[in-house]
Structure 1
């Protein structure tokens, strides 16, 4: 391996490409087809075709296409996947931003905009890294796949479609391109999304004893769920990479549909739970414990009646430090930065969760951007770190494909 691939990274094209991506709104909204993943996906497809890659476009659902690109080596070898999603979350009220959410303004060495950090900057880094490898003419073994899926910020239908279509069948390792401050993340929290409906009986607010107030019963349930969270924290302690497990009520609606009224006891109350798990927790065990809380509250004689719907369950995911993909990135980090890498974990799930859970693919999650910046207003990524990330991706890919770890 005599070619210095890093010399072929075009920093100006990296900045230009990242800004172009950010300027295309890709917040998926069924009611507004002018701003979704399709526009940015078609833009990416055109750029990848100009690079001379094999490019595939697969519609996951209307106006929501995955883009897949392949760069093949000159001889058999391993297959590595670089994955970065095309969708972004809503910017909320644009007037509350100091910088235009889709302006991709460059100020003091930072690119501002929705998706700059999560994860269009890292998407640009992945593409430019692969372009550098191709432009270098290096005679590498194996295959590099770029996967740019939709809906990572939703139900992750894009990566599920990618897997179900067989694209991941021969993937040996994956780099998930997410804002992790270029730390090497080898664990991800699991996620259980649950809806619980507590039933009541409508009545006049002036005559509450003629009804059954679901709000009081929901309050008792929330307290019990908080107690369950505390027990799990006491049992498991602080995870080295992921911190504490959590059970978070995110939405409470009463009634569950329609509009409430001040003088009417609603017939039901609905809560959504975002449960984040760590190693040592089992999804079935957690849901069984919630069912036991239902039984406990019902046994108290308070006319408690509730039903639970599991919207989705995503397991914890982890990669051993001795996996070749981890060692390849570790070496790349040391060479490029001159420092020891920081190992960490992802506080949420990523598309890599399903690559690991469904296909047992070793992964690392890493990329430019501070961990607490995504989904905030005036989201940004530092240009210098984006350049570093591009070098890390390119070097780690070559390390992985060339060496027998």
Structure 2
């Protein structure tokens, strides 16, 4: 694999990637409000000649490159948290302020910067013939990660595959574009959710001694 050729191709798209990222940043996209940024990404994928671009029923935007049965998936969540008090920002978080070194704005790092890289990365793979034979690239702009981490891919697994086992048999590799300061990290840390039930006795606020406060009981 000619890494210098890949880097040269990426450098050639630098201006377009920067413009695309700033376009995404300009659309406020808090969880459940991602429609405008989804349409922005869809238009960019179509412009770059993705073989297929679609928006699923949950709102995820998915671009496909290649025609194989095996899948290499690249995921970027495209929703953001809010901006809080805009007066606390040094520059407008929706303007994509740019210097020679950075593009500044809500979502620029987490995770629309990853989306720009993934979209153009797939384009470069197609341009340079780097999609392995028998594979296709699945570039996903997923929604509602900030509020409902994992729900987007649960939906994808159930819609595009016959459940988790079928997805595991077809998806060979998954890349998450979460920001890591330029490093490559393994993401096999898993996930666990714990539910704790504590029983109490309700009472009127005027007579708290008659009740049994479940919150106090579980605090320790």
What TM-score range do you get, normalising by the shorter chain? Answer: 0.7 to 0.9
Aligned to 1:112: 104
The question of whether the paired residues in 1 share the 8 Å contact of 2:91 and 2:97 is answered with yes
Task: Give the TM-score of the pair, scaled to structure 2.
Answer: 0.81
The question of whether the paired residues in 1 share the 8 Å contact of 2:131 and 2:137 is answered with no
Aligned to 2:31: 28
Aligned to 2:61: 67
Gaps of 5+ in 1: 30-35, 224-405
SS in 1 for 2:110: helix
SS in 2 for 1:188: coil
Aligned to 2:120: 128
Q: CA deviation at 1:39?
A: 0.9
Aligned to 2:184: 183
Aligned to 1:5: 6
Q: CA deviation at 1:16?
A: 1.4
The question of whether the paired residues in 2 share the 8 Å contact of 1:102 and 1:114 is answered with yes
Aligned to 1:164: 158
Task: Measure, in 1, the Cα distance between the counterparts of 2:194 and 2:103.
Answer: 33
Aligned to 2:42: 45
Deviation track 1:169-200 (CA, whole Å, cap 9, x = no partner) reads 62111111111222312332524264756533
| Higher strand content, 1 or 2 | 1
RMSD, aligned CA: 2.6
Task: Measure, in 2, the Cα distance between the counterparts of 1:183 and 1:132.
Answer: 19
Gaps of 5+ in 2: 162-166
Task: Measure, in 2, the Cα distance between the counterparts of 1:175 and 1:212.
Answer: 51
Task: Measure, in 1, the Cα distance between the counterparts of 2:85 and 2:9.
Answer: 40
SS in 1 for 2:170: coil
The higher radius of gyration belongs to: 1
1:212 maps to 2:211: yes
SS in 2 for 1:219: helix
Task: Give the TM-score of the pair, scaled to structure 1.
Answer: 0.46
Give the aligned length.
207
- Distance change >3 Å, CA 108–CA 196, structure 1 → 2: farther
SS in 1 for 2:71: strand
The question of whether the paired residues in 1 share the 8 Å contact of 2:17 and 2:120 is answered with yes
The question of whether the paired residues in 2 share the 8 Å contact of 1:198 and 1:218 is answered with no
Deviation track 1:243-276 (CA, whole Å, cap 9, x = no partner) reads xxxxxxxxxxxxxxxxxxxxxxxxxxxxxxxxxx
1:221 maps to 2:214: no
